Structure 1
């Protein structure tokens, strides 16, 4: 039994930010009912690659949910949602602002049915502000937050972060706000409204960059793999690949000079003596280290740094990462049996709880898989369910 086994969640979201948030709630034991739009469901179902006709992208972020397909534009479809809301703790939606109100399923409407409802809206720019009505995907949020302007190599064009960082940031921001609201509800029985934006969520992660700007007016620029204030703290090419070096404090720096690159004179060199000196001369320092590192293979340098306790590591391709012995030992790759796709691999749980660990209770639902089961639990008769099907409500 998971820690959230008494929580009931209605998931009206699609694609990534909302589904990721509700997936984690499901991983922790919550009962999650995913209500997909009629007739085609979550847009992610159309995204490849496909395994036996089922979207791998959809399956990745919709495990541990029951699924139904409901036409919320139909009055009877709205009535189904209202019945679900009566006993729900949480509802999560990621419509564009204004759409939920137009459908009659906004917070103001639903809190009349259930005052204890925690209603979380996730959108590109939030429910307020001059951009509230704009459509916003992850890449637009990366642009507006300034993150894209500081990503990439020096002198290069702005680069999108390799993952959908604002989508996941919004998912995690929504998650901890939902949990805070749930604690509040457990204490006094009161629900509340939560407004989450992709832009705000990613921007909140730029803490070092904000410190540099608010503290000294510095505008972060692309740095490649370099750290903004520590050196050497970056990647270097080797004879057969690349490695990461994290000699980020004075003790590690001196070990690096003495026992890794064999350059004791760097310790007293005025260009590199202190951390501020190394940062001020980082271009020169990086070039000197690079000239040495390129002469030996990666493992040679990794072994030398490991022996000195200097943080270091390889730069793996994604397939290498998912086959790495440490990743596998941490159970970050798991398998789940899907009724159509068969055995499929999925990512594991990043947090390791001793008493209430995450668990895969069920695979992602097929389209409308649990519609009848859920309606029966809401005391719809067989005749009513048949009529709803005939009227294209479910």
Structure 2
């Protein structure tokens, strides 16, 4: 749960406690106590549904106030590295800045700070503009400690209203051997609200795309990995994306981290395609209330008949929300799926299959 949700939850609970005490001390009315209890129950239900979001109304800014160019050759003008271009932007940025990145492979580790909102990174195409690094979780950082999964990212975004177009984010660390520890290697970590990725490619093996927190939109993207290659606790819609597994053993496409009924998070895949090698779970229940839905998605034969894994905790079978809706392909049959996954009805699928899932009508316009 993010800090806003924690603070709101704490405030409401305190108010409910005060209200209950007031009822007892002044009238001790059973009817008033009943009303307070019902109010609390209804509040919990609303926070657990997809009709409520803890995020404030999003107001995006798309008209650029500044453009910056990045080119590997200094003679072409502008900056020669992406991080240099980002560092040139005011630390408390409040207008849309577009960074045009020319074709080429940029070998650098990039991070955008939390105060630098409204940044767009636009490449020549996902095949021509590539940002690559090779950190892993067990690699030692500048502080002498392991980077961890969080710190292993080739490209990390901590600021809201980020947009990326026509670019590849890659972590070229090799595929880890079975059982090898500390080899998580993130290509992209997105740790902020209202981010959009259009025609982008994410290449890695274990833990490729860290969909950490916030509302995110992925449109016509290519995401490649082996184990948990889309993971985190974001509220994210993947539309028209190609999800490609690259493993010779067992792998998992998603590991969603929703840990509470009160968290309005989850991953929804709509009109996507799943291909690759190995034997793949659609998802593992990293969080107790993990939530993932696939709708209108083609699934190749690499998908294991069981479909889903409970992370070795049978109690999670009662709390997760794993579903499919009108999927196709040899790996899409629901007949062999675990009993605690769902073949959704139209009504059940409806909240997951449009931009309303991420309140997109507020902040996704003409991207």
For the superposition of Structure 1 and Structure 2, which TM-score range results when normalised by the shorter chain? Answer: under 0.3
- Normalising by structure 2, report the TM-score: 0.24
Higher helix share: 1
Q: Work out which structure has the larger RCO, using CA pairs closer than 8 Å and 6 or more positions apart in sequence.
A: 1
Quick check: which one's strand share is greater? 2
